[in-house]
Amino acid sequence: MTLSSRRQFLRQTSLGAAVLCVRHTRVIRAARQVFEDRAQQGAGSDAASMRKFASRISGHVIRPEMSDYDSSRLVFNRAFDRHPAVIVQCAVPSDVARALDFAQAKNLQVAVRGGGHSRLGYGMCDGGVVIDLSALKRVEVDSNRRVARAQAGALVRNLDEATQRFGLATTSGGCPTVGIAGLTLGGGEGRLMEKYGAACDNLLSAQVVTVDGRQIQASAKSNPDLFWAIRGGGGNFGVVTALEYQLHPVREVLSGALMYPAGRIPEMLQAFTRFLAGAPDEMDAFAQLLPSEPGRRLKIDVCYCGDLRMGNDLVRPLRGLKPQDDSVKVMSYLEAQGTGGFLQAPVAHFQTNLFLRELSGSAIAGITTAVDDAPATCKVIIVPLRGAVSRVNVSDTAFALRQRGYEVDIAGVWSTPAEKAEVVRWVEATRDSLQTFAHGVYVNQLGDTSEELVKLAYGPNYARLVEIKKKYDPNNILRLNQNIPAA
Ligand SMILES: Cc1cc2nc3c(=O)[nH]c(=O)nc-3n(C[C@H](O)[C@H](O)[C@H](O)COP(=O)(O)OP(=O)(O)OC[C@H]3O[C@@H](n4cnc5c(N)ncnc54)[C@H](O)[C@@H]3O)c2cc1C
């Protein structure tokens, strides 16, 4: 190529390139415009459909741009920081039905929030619709029938306070701010469970909104399959808006804690199992191993709801073991409920559990070694399951922990990433070291999840739960939970 032809070629090609470039830019601009128009139309239609949806809700609809968004998306376990597209604070059951319908129409994930105490932060989701029941806290008591009707956003404290006004109570959790719906749907262990069974054993009926928007009752007579499933099967089958409980006379109790020194864990845990073997159903007791308390490592909490004249005699074996502190005294049931909690305030944590049929010498040795090596922010909680809760047939409700035994909860809290890594490592290592003694898990206290864990939690009841899921939520709309898929 000559110099002039090369120049001409370059001029042409650069001209061609420039032309091409301009055309290309125009094409890109045009495409971008189409995209932006469509996005705007989409956002516009999204915004319009959101406005239309919000206008049909009796409660409060909270969007990310609103000032109460951040406070409304907080859950108790601060390890979870989720950002939903919309939080629907429901005021009436039809709000729940509309929120379910909207989520399905927009193909958005659904989270259901009661008291917000899920170990896995299941009450909140990223990018989806939160059905928030926390504004529904009313509890009505019919003292003649000894029945309480609670809205599904009521907390343990609301239920206890309302029923105690009449000298009545039912099994609820040991932490006043846990939601009674989440607690009961997963089983519900509490200080009266040895005498009166788990929270789910005291459930008489529930109002449920199904994923197709029907408002139905679940009870022994009405939709008995659903009633069976929601007594332990969690939030897998529908959104509960109200629960009716059987109540029992409970006034003053003998309650408080005994603290024992470090270095005596094996001896003390053996004494604890002997104490339980002779204790009546009215006696509830659980043990906590506390690495954070130098020199005072073991705490036994008791709550006796029987004849108070006999209470001190029953606690004598524990007092004979020379506690360093002893706060056990007669108090109102309400006061007892306010003192025994595992975590007092919202905090980032990891808690999981195993169910052991017995506290054998080897299991006690494993627990002792783990506690000796534990970070100061960790602990082991041993919750005996005995009495009425363990006398129900395993197939009578979905909740399947129906044998005498011990739920061993392994927990730790953190405030920095370094602490988190140490806590998670210790909790997992402790759980793994006790695995050979385990025969189950409690869904409500699982800080992790898998198909295997959910099957382990429900044991022989799992297959029936899958069948009921197929009937009430075949497309697994309610899947942000310890999930039982329909397939
Ligand atoms: C500090 C603390 C103490 C605890 N103490 C106890 C205890 O003493 N005994 C015990 O048994 N458990 C205890 N738990 C575990 C507790 O029972 C579960 O975490 C339970 O799921 C919490 O319910 P929630 O409504 O507060 O939580 P949320 O996070 O609001 O709900 C948890 C899940 O339950 C389901 N759910 C809740 N409400 C509804 C509804 N109305 N309809 C359908 N599904 C629903 C949903 O799947 C939801 O994601 C404790 C937990 C914490 C954090």
pLDDT at 35: 43
pTM for the full predicted model: 0.91
Q: Which range, of 11-20, 167-176, 403-412, averages the lowest pLDDT?
A: 11-20
- Reported confidence tier of residue 263, pLDDT bands at 50, 70, 90: confident
Handedness of CA 381, 382, 387, 388 (dihedral sign): positive
Dist. CA 284–CA 340, nearest whole Å: 11
Give the Cβ contact number of residue 64 at 10 Å.
12
Decide: 182 in ligand 1 pocket, CB within 6 A. yes
Tell me the three-class secondary structure of 148-183, residue by residue. Answer: EEEECCCEHHHHHHHHHCCCEECCCCCCCCCEHHHH
Decide: 155 in ligand 1 pocket, CB within 6 A. no
- Reported confidence tier of residue 29, pLDDT bands at 50, 70, 90: low
Q: 388 vs 29, which has greater pLDDT?
A: 388
CA distances from 45 to 32, 100, 217 (A): 19, 19, 36
pLDDT(34) > 50? no
Residue identifier of the C-alpha nearest atom 34 of ligand 1: 182
pLDDT(46) > 60? yes
Dist. CA 192–CA 283, nearest whole Å: 8
pLDDT(41) > 90? no
Decide: 239 in ligand 1 pocket, CB within 6 A. yes
372 SS3 class: helix
Which residues on adjacent β-strands are paired with residue 347? none
Tell which residue, 258, 206, 246, 211, has the closest CA to residue 227: 206
pLDDT at 24: 47
pLDDT(1) > 70? no
Residue identifier of the C-alpha nearest atom 37 of ligand 1: 182
pLDDT(112) > 50? yes
**C-alpha of residue 76 to centroid of ligand 1, in Å:** 10
pLDDT in tens, 396-430: 999 999 999 999 999 999 999 999 999 999 999 99
Q: What percent of the chain has pLDDT over 70?
A: 90
- Reported confidence tier of residue 148, pLDDT bands at 50, 70, 90: very high
pLDDT at 20: 38
pLDDT in tens, 315-330: 999 999 999 999 999 9
Best residue among 444, 446, 454, 482 to mutate for probing ligand 1's pocket (most ligand atoms within 8 Å of CB) is 444
pLDDT in tens, 364-384: 999 999 999 999 999 999 999
395 SS3 class: coil
| 18 CB-near residues (< 8 Å, 6+ apart) | none
- DSSP structural state of residue 450: -
pLDDT at 292: 82
Q: Which range, of 158-167, 290-299, 472-481, averages the lowest pLDDT?
A: 290-299
Quick one: average pLDDT of 237-256? 98
- Reported confidence tier of residue 340, pLDDT bands at 50, 70, 90: low
Dist. CA 154–CA 166, nearest whole Å: 18
| 325 CB-near residues (< 8 Å, 6+ apart) | 257, 258, 259, 296
Tokens representing residue 258 in the block = 């005994």
| 370 CB-near residues (< 8 Å, 6+ apart) | 380, 410, 426, 429, 430, 433, 434
Mean pLDDT over the full length of the chain:
91
- DSSP structural state of residue 320: T
Tokens representing residue 140 in the block = 């009505």
CB 421 within 8 A of CB 442: no
Quick one: average pLDDT of 72-93? 98
Decide: 112 in ligand 1 pocket, CB within 6 A. yes
Residue identifier of the C-alpha nearest atom 33 of ligand 1: 182
- DSSP structural state of residue 295: T
Quick one: average pLDDT of 22-36? 49
pLDDT(172) > 60? yes
Count helices and strands (H / E) in the chain.
15, 19
Quick one: average pLDDT of 214-229? 98
Tell which residue, 150, 158, 161, 137, has the closest CA to residue 89: 137
Decide: 444 in ligand 1 pocket, CB within 6 A. yes
CB 389 within 8 A of CB 189: yes
C-alpha 187 chain-centroid distance: 11
